[in-house]
Structure 1
Amino acid sequence: MKYLKHKLYGRIFNLFKVFPINKNKITFIVDSGESFKGNLDYIKKEFEKRGTFEFNFFYKDKLSIGAFKDLATSKYIFLNDNFFPIAFMNFKDESVVTQLWHAPGAFKKFGGSVSSEDDRQMLLKISKNTDYLITSSKNIEGFYSEAFQISKDKIKPLGLPRADYYFENHNISDLKEEFCKRYGVGPDKKIILYAPTFRDEEKYNNVFNYLDLNEFNESLGDEYVLALRLHPKIKDFYSGDISSKGKYIDCSGYASEQELLLISDILITDYSSIMIEFAMLNKPIVFFTYDFDSYLNEERGFYFDFKNTVPGPIVYDSSQLIEVIENKDFEERKLSEFVMTQFDEINGEASKRVVDFLLNEGDKNG
């Protein structure tokens, strides 16, 4: 019963195997909110440079007969997140199914590294119907093999397509000016982006119970403004008027996370994979881990030794956090070393490498 809906999806899909594959048809599997779409957008742009292709979007939370037919007749199929019905879909040999995965690098354990035996068996079925899994580095191949229950020969360390964004011609000054106007911030202020992750342990999700905003602003407010970007689930744990906690910008609804990374001067985070992307930009990161012992013992855990690997200082309370920022003691020497463990190449050509691979040696049956 657990996988009944996924099996139904698979059976509907399999009805359309009677139709021939269209070698120029590409389908992207997304949810209706189009979350985690960045990699897909960059792959689409790269294919558009190569010729005339037909692009379709299969919305995994909407049932559409036409979408099933498009999926079944596509030459190239891309995912950027989990989609369990893949386990029950019998793709034609000519189709190429590629998992791009939305998160950069590897840090927090996920998937088959932490799931039940039943879920690992499901991941194994999905991996058998997946031709390629794209990662950012050969160094993390073993972790992804475990997380996806997929053989290493299907893993291709070609890069993170959406990271090509940072190599485009952005006017960062204009982006920051627009941001400051929108939120009423003086243009001379530096931006500290605080992006905490979600915890399964509920009591640690209200970050204002641990970050003293008044103390923070009193010490740092002349030079910096705090921009808070919350995981959607965290807001469920707020109580009362959070604006009374002190002055900050809530940019949780800001459309482009990558734009925020470009205009921010410092990142404060904890265990979020956002730090992997920010580290690429060679800017300071501070790890505010007020619940470190609980997270280490009760949550998912890490693929690396957290304390010896993260590219920045680790602090446990507001006073330590403020002190590190005041003294600019960011341990930036650790940034390049960390980035090298997560990326083989960073040059704005990840999308090109993926599409080159698929159109050449990764293209089954010509």
Structure 2
Amino acid sequence: MTIKKRAISYIKHKLSSNDLLDLISKYVVVNLAQLIFLIKYRSHKVDSKKIVFECFQGRNVSDSPLSLYKELINTRKDLSFVWVLNSVEHGLYDQLSNNSNTTVVIYNTAEYDIEYATAGYWITNCRLPFRLFKKKNQKYIQCWHGTPLKKLGLDIEVGAYSTTSMAGMRFSYGVDSSRYDYFLSPSKYASEKFCSSFNIPTKSIIELGYPRNDSLINDMGNTSKIDRVKAKLNINESKTVVLYAPTWRDKQYSILNNNYYFDNPLENDDFIEQFDDSFVFLFRGHYFTESDKQSRRFIDVSSYNDINDLFLISDILITDYSSVFFDFALLNRPIYFYMYDREHYEKEARGFYLDIDYDLPGEIFENSILLSKAVKSGVGSTHNDFNAVYNPFEDGKSACRIISEFL
């Protein structure tokens, strides 16, 4: 990491302990950055037929932005598309560049800014850099990246953060949400939480399902695709595949490396020694996090592009406070929750929207040995009642419905 980035990381960490100073600094920096952006690109005309797509700051080409892109590239030949990637070394750079009517730009470059200054539509699943000033004739479609279990944005009442104060965090959410024209939602429950946490009006919500789940529904019985994904990861077809997909922790932050870290807590003898080689374990870290530790038993699939592929090949899901279980529940396969730090997370970090003792589609474990016994049993129930509440629109056609709403 450069000295400049390390200095910025250090300053953010120091400001996070002072609400007033952090808020003032963010206010000044954000407004100055937007003013510079506006002046620099005010003469650039907006192309109403150009759409820019971004997924996790260019790390992936997946989620709802990809589903919407797939639908549009097949049905709207009159449009042009721009994909944001984080590097020219990205595994999908050449493939996207060769697609019809599609160009690729690198995240946080001058070309990146120009595309956002001139695209008629912005489609993303994460918050965008604050400097991007949206003109009145541009539309911002926020897909987000999951149904929330843990509290978001303005709904967070507890917590101490490594890179922002509570006041600074609330201001940051407000800056991004003030640009939204549409916000995608998979359910009434999610719509209510998005409106309160981002302070957006109900008229901005498109509650028609998650495009990201279209491929999950449509490929559920696609054995040839499932076999291809397993072969790509060198997984024998006869193995029981267990996916562990935890979320990030707000306080697990490295100032030195300017990133959040997460070391797999199931990488311990009490857990892994309970299983023979008929089980294969996958580890999917949150896109915020990194880990330097080598795994003895888990295949690290954190950089695998599309998590839906991992869902399709997995017989069992282990998670904690991540939203992944809302989507995985569509497959009606066992889900277990490993919440070894539950008390801290609930009372000091975020808090939850749901009553986790009654509303989750699976059992909670705080002990890895008890968790291993449950995983070995493979016992689980169908999630039909859960899906009726939290996934009521998922029929594999959400992308088509949503496009007709905003385009």
| TM-score range for the pair, normalised by the shorter chain length | 0.7 to 0.9
Q: Report the CA distance between 1:190 and its aligned residue.
A: 1.6
1:105 is the counterpart of 2:151: no
1:96 is the counterpart of 2:121: no
CA distance in 2, matches of 1:338, 1:211: 34
CA distance in 1, matches of 2:180, 2:351: 27
Say whether the 8 Å CA contact 2:262–2:289 is kept in structure 1: no
CA distance in 1, matches of 2:60, 2:403: 22
What is the match of residue 387 of structure 2?
Answer: 339
Q: Report the CA distance between 1:110 and its aligned residue.
A: 1.8
SS in 1 for 2:123: strand
Distance 1:213 1:184, change over 3 A: farther
Q: Report the residue type matching 2:149 in the other structure.
A: F
SS in 1 for 2:357: helix
Q: Report the CA distance between 1:57 and its aligned residue.
A: 4.0
SS in 2 for 1:197: coil
Q: Report the residue type matching 1:193 in the other structure.
A: L
1:251 is the counterpart of 2:301: yes
CA distance in 1, matches of 2:214, 2:48: 26
SS in 2 for 1:126: helix
Residue-by-residue CA offset, 1:12-39 (whole Å, 9 max, x unaligned): 4423334443321222345663337422
What is the match of residue 51 of structure 2?
Answer: 26
Larger deviation: 55-64 or 297-306? Answer: 55-64
Distance 1:25 1:338, change over 3 A: same
The answer for unaligned runs of 5 or more in structure 2 is 1-24, 85-104, 157-164, 253-260
CA distance in 1, matches of 2:78, 2:28: 38
Residue-by-residue CA offset, 1:268-290 (whole Å, 9 max, x unaligned): 11111111110111111011222
* Counterpart pick for 2:79 among 50, 53, 60: 53
Q: Report the CA distance between 1:248 and its aligned residue.
A: 3.9
Say whether the 8 Å CA contact 1:210–1:290 is kept in structure 2: no
Alpha carbon RMSD of aligned pairs, Å? Answer: 3.0
What is the match of residue 216 of structure 1?
Answer: 274
* Identity across the alignment (%): 28
Q: Report the residue type matching 2:187 in the other structure.
A: S
Say whether the 8 Å CA contact 1:269–1:286 is kept in structure 2: yes
Say whether the 8 Å CA contact 1:196–1:270 is kept in structure 2: yes
SS in 2 for 1:306: coil
What is the match of residue 151 of structure 1?
Answer: 201
What is the match of residue 2 of structure 1?
Answer: 26
SS in 2 for 1:207: coil
Say whether the 8 Å CA contact 2:334–2:379 is kept in structure 1: no
How many residues are treated as equivalent by the alignment? Answer: 345
CA distance in 2, matches of 1:255, 1:37: 7
Q: Report the residue type matching 2:63 in the other structure.
A: G
What is the match of residue 227 of structure 1?
Answer: 282
What is the match of residue 62 of structure 1?
Answer: 108
What is the match of residue 343 of structure 2?
Answer: 293
Residue-by-residue CA offset, 1:282-315 (whole Å, 9 max, x unaligned): 1110112222222222221111111111101122
Q: Report the CA distance between 1:104 and its aligned residue.
A: 1.8
What is the match of residue 364 of structure 1?
Answer: none
SS in 2 for 1:191: strand
CA distance in 1, matches of 2:61, 2:108: 17
Say whether the 8 Å CA contact 2:65–2:125 is kept in structure 1: yes
Distance 1:51 1:128, change over 3 A: same
SS in 2 for 1:278: helix
What is the match of residue 399 of structure 2?
Answer: 351
The answer for unaligned runs of 5 or more in structure 1 is 360-366
Say whether the 8 Å CA contact 2:142–2:180 is kept in structure 1: yes
Q: Report the residue type matching 1:295 in the other structure.
A: Y
Distance 1:39 1:201, change over 3 A: same
SS in 2 for 1:124: helix
Relative to its length, the structure with more helix (as a share) is 1
What is the match of residue 64 of structure 2?
Answer: 39
CA distance in 2, matches of 1:167, 1:242: 32
Structure 1 runs (4+) deviating above 6 angstroms are none
1:198 is the counterpart of 2:248: yes
Residue-by-residue CA offset, 1:316-349 (whole Å, 9 max, x unaligned): 223322332344432x14x222223322301111
CA distance in 2, matches of 1:26, 1:77: 6
